[in-house]
Structure 1
Amino acid sequence: MPALRALPPRPAHLAVAVGFAIAGCLAGAYYHPAPWQPFDVRAYLLTVLIALPLALREKRPFPVLVITAGGFTAYLLLGYQPSLNFWSPAVAFVSVAAVERRRRAGSGAVVLAAVIALSGVCGRLPWPVVVVQAVIVPAVAATVGLTQRRLAQRNAELRRLTALLGQQQRQEARRAVLDERFRIARELHDTISQHMTIATLQTGIAEYTFHADPAAARTALGVAATAGRDALDELRRLLIVLRTHDVTGADEGPSARGDAGDREDPAAPVPDELLAGIDRIPALAEHLEVTGLRVTVRFLGEPRPLHPGVELCAYRVVQEALTNVVKHAEAAAAEVTVEYREHELDVTVLDQGGPAPGTRAAPTRTAGGPVRQAARSAGSGHGLIGMRERAKIWHGTLTAGARPEGGFEVRLRLPLGQQLPGEHHPPRPDRSSG
């Protein structure tokens, strides 16, 4: 039972039992007034019998009470003076009140009251004193025992809550590790996928046109090399962000900048230019021109400063959606619309599902058409999952699906909170690339 754990350890019980035995024997040896019997060997044995069972009161409280009360009764009926043996049944009853059920504790109280009354009668005390003594001693012992019971219950509850808290902390730690792994995987996918797609397509074009059109092959290899360098640069930025900054939060205070040759301070906040924002979407569209995809970017509404995490979310969704157009669609053109509403940011990415009417693909696209066709795959679905996870982090929604008129649509809606203080973004006109 939990109450048992709150009692003193067994060595303490043994010390109490031995102490009562020694004290009872000393009191009987040096104090034996008339008309009680002299303290002989039998008295010593009874005193030891009354006291030593107290060492077992932790595990067997009620039997210990019965033994001590029975021994004390025999001790009194044989004519020995009450002495210190009076306290052994009372101490035993404290353990009964602390751990036993109410019915057994009530029986123990009756046993203790009877032996205390017998002690008073044998001691020739006035009857009012005998009655008061028979009531007070069990009452005090019961109060002490119930206090131990409540303390034990509180300690048990505290241990339970401590164990539950430790379990929850371990679960939170595991959840934090998993969330961080998902975040890193999402960042790696969104950052590297676009550049690797471009590099793969351009190297395929170079292989396809190596003998037929060496100039086009050299151009494609140059584009692939640029995409590789951009991928390394993005990876470096990502590693800095993951090491020094929570991309889903905002750090206050000025950015820590040093000379170009200074070593980066891992404790310093990440400069704002290392976090992709909405203003980088036109550059992203221009970068995809080398794949033959013409991207039109439009800004609607009044542009205003947004939380860096919201801007990064919008940028990554656009980046992943356009990369999917390049990898999995036959569209020659796509359209990105960023609309600033009063309480919401609405980002839409549309593709036409095929070559745009009245347009002619770029030479690299024509040369690389078979390569791009071969590079398409069904996809793992991680990109869509990552986009939805990003939207969920910022309490937004993301829908994606085919349009009835053809093509595919990805739409992101993000609720807007308070603007960042001290920042001002001038209005951006409609821009297109490609």
Structure 2
Amino acid sequence: MAFRGGWWGAVRGVLPQVADAVYAFGSLGISASMLHNWPDPNHYWRAPDALAYCLLAAMYLPLAVRRRAPLLILGSSATVVLGYFTLAYYHPVAVCGLALANYTVAAHRSRTVSVPCTVTTWLVLLWGTRLAEPGIGLLSVAFVTATAAVTWVTGDVSRRLAERGRRLAALTEQLRREQEERTRRAVSDECMRIARELHDVIAHHVSVISIQAGLADYVFASDPPTAHRAIGVITDSARDAGDEMRRMLAVLRHGVEHSAHDRGDTLPDTDGAAPGMARLAELADRVRAAGVAVRITGEGLDEPLPAGLDMCVYRVVQEALTNVLKHAPTASATVDLSRGHNALRVRVTDDGPSRPRPEKRDGPGHGLIGMRERATIYGGTVTAGVRSQGGFEVDLVMPLPDM
């Protein structure tokens, strides 16, 4: 990388300029030598003098900077060559310089510019054919015509190839930026997914631990068996929280992308089964131990679900029951699951006192937001609110893929 972007990059940058300078001075030397040494026993051309050499220098030396000002160089070259031909000096030595200037315009300017310039070049070269030796006039006309046409075609092709290369480079850069943006978005989405997981895991278990710790402290002296059971629930909740945290860390260590989770691929398992509907009974037991009576009802629940969707249902139920623990710890809750052909519906209700919707409290309801984000991934919806008969309800509806 240092080799390409260091001194070699600088060398590559000056190589075209060096090549043009070498061509300009080399062509001047060769043309001057031909002009001086070309035999002319019949005196077809004007004898070379200082003006002829000055005109040759004015033709070739500006070609050293031809890439910087193509139109200016072509204009000056055409003017000088026209004067050179008009003075009837030996004409073939002037053709190459004007041809290269014409090629440069075709290679760096659009056709609307290069075509008129090529016609002008051809007319100037055609003016020089009057100096051709007897018998080769038509051959000279054909030669200058071919010279003008070939220099224009090669220059135009070179320009189009360069434009195509620039477009390809721009497209490559655009694709690179889009890939970087997709990567940043993937990282952001993964952070959001991890944040939801942390919220669901920690909020639930901490709520259970907090309630049981308060109960154990309250009955520690008066009812040791109850305190002992509360401490057992605390221990189990802490262990479960640790297991789920280790599982999440394992996912991160293995570099599982958020898209795999969104597609419903199975996440790596560690110390236990991944959270899903099969573990709803364990979840209900923890909540019951914390003081909230939970009942799970439903039918057709033994059929498997995609892993991601299965976890989504579990997390929504977990968050809904955690909210019952927080806001209605003396209530009873019901988890009702009904599975149809195309959709799964989960309703979590409680008979506690009516309370505001989570997002209408002091801050946004992160739990409800997390539920909705999870459901949206799979095309589902979550609604939540106060029931008309009292209590609170969370309603999840998830479309089911064809199994």
1:157 aligns with 2:141: no
Q: Which moved more, 1:405-414 or 1:297-306?
A: 297-306
SS at match of 1:151: helix
Query: C-alpha distance in 2, partners of 1:209/1:303?
Result: 40
1:22 aligns with 2:29: yes
2:65 corresponds in structure 1 to 56
Question: Equivalent of 2:78, from 59, 69, 78?
Answer: 69
SS at match of 1:10: helix
Q: Deviations over 1:163-184 (max 9, x none)?
A: 2111101111110110110111
Distance change (3 Å), C-alpha of 1:207 and 1:288: same
- In the TM superposition, residue 38 of structure 1 has moved relative to its aligned partner by 4.2
- In the TM superposition, residue 398 of structure 1 has moved relative to its aligned partner by 1.6
Work out whether residues 345 and 395 of structure 2, in 8 Å CA contact, stay in contact via their aligned partners in 1: yes
1:399 aligns with 2:383: yes
Question: Equivalent of 2:130, from 109, 121, 146?
Answer: 121
SS at match of 1:137: helix
Q: Percent identity?
A: 38
2:368 corresponds in structure 1 to 384
Query: C-alpha distance in 2, partners of 1:47/1:159?
Result: 40
1:9 corresponds in structure 2 to 16
Question: Equivalent of 1:175, from 182, 185, 197?
Answer: 185
Question: Equivalent of 2:401, from 407, 410, 417?
Answer: 417
SS at match of 1:347: strand
Query: C-alpha distance in 1, partners of 2:223/2:362?
Result: 31
1:99 corresponds in structure 2 to 108
Query: C-alpha distance in 2, partners of 1:60/1:273?
Result: 74
Work out whether residues 343 and 417 of structure 1, in 8 Å CA contact, stay in contact via their aligned partners in 2: yes
Work out whether residues 106 and 152 of structure 2, in 8 Å CA contact, stay in contact via their aligned partners in 1: yes
Matches within 5 A, 1:171-250: 171-210=181-220, 213=223, 216-244=226-254, 245=256, 246-249=260-263
Distance change (3 Å), C-alpha of 1:378 and 1:101: closer
Query: C-alpha distance in 1, partners of 2:103/2:114?
Result: 9
- In the TM superposition, residue 33 of structure 1 has moved relative to its aligned partner by 2.1
2:89 corresponds in structure 1 to 80
Name the amino acid aligned to 2:335: V
1:408 corresponds in structure 2 to 392
Distance change (3 Å), C-alpha of 1:27 and 1:90: same
Work out whether residues 375 and 382 of structure 2, in 8 Å CA contact, stay in contact via their aligned partners in 1: yes
1:430 corresponds in structure 2 to none
Query: C-alpha distance in 2, partners of 1:231/1:196?
Result: 9
Query: C-alpha distance in 2, partners of 1:337/1:37?
Result: 110
Work out whether residues 299 and 338 of structure 2, in 8 Å CA contact, stay in contact via their aligned partners in 1: yes
- Structure 1, unaligned runs of 5 or more: 1-5, 253-267, 356-376, 420-434
SS at match of 1:312: helix
1:44 corresponds in structure 2 to 53
Work out whether residues 324 and 331 of structure 2, in 8 Å CA contact, stay in contact via their aligned partners in 1: no
Name the amino acid aligned to 2:296: V
Q: Which has the higher contact order (CA 8 A, sep 6+)?
A: 1
Distance change (3 Å), C-alpha of 1:178 and 1:86: same
- In the TM superposition, residue 288 of structure 1 has moved relative to its aligned partner by 0.8
Work out whether residues 27 and 83 of structure 1, in 8 Å CA contact, stay in contact via their aligned partners in 2: no
In proportion to residue count, which structure has more helix?
2
- In the TM superposition, residue 248 of structure 1 has moved relative to its aligned partner by 3.7
Q: RMSD value over aligned CA atoms? A: 2.8
Distance change (3 Å), C-alpha of 1:114 and 1:380: closer
2:10 corresponds in structure 1 to none
SS at match of 1:295: strand
Work out whether residues 111 and 156 of structure 2, in 8 Å CA contact, stay in contact via their aligned partners in 1: no
Q: TM-score, normalised by structure 1?
A: 0.78
2:321 corresponds in structure 1 to 322
Work out whether residues 32 and 39 of structure 1, in 8 Å CA contact, stay in contact via their aligned partners in 2: no
1:144 corresponds in structure 2 to 154
Q: Deviations over 1:177-227 (max 9, x none)?
A: 101101111111112221111111222233444555555444433432332
Distance change (3 Å), C-alpha of 1:243 and 1:414: farther
Aligned length: 377
Q: Deviations over 1:282-331 (max 9, x none)?
A: 12101111221011101213631221111111111111111111112355
Distance change (3 Å), C-alpha of 1:295 and 1:302: closer
SS at match of 1:410: strand
1:264 corresponds in structure 2 to none
SS at match of 2:346: strand
SS at match of 1:274: coil
Name the amino acid aligned to 1:300: E
Q: Deviations over 1:320-347 (max 9, x none)?
A: 1111111123551111112221122211
2:288 corresponds in structure 1 to 289
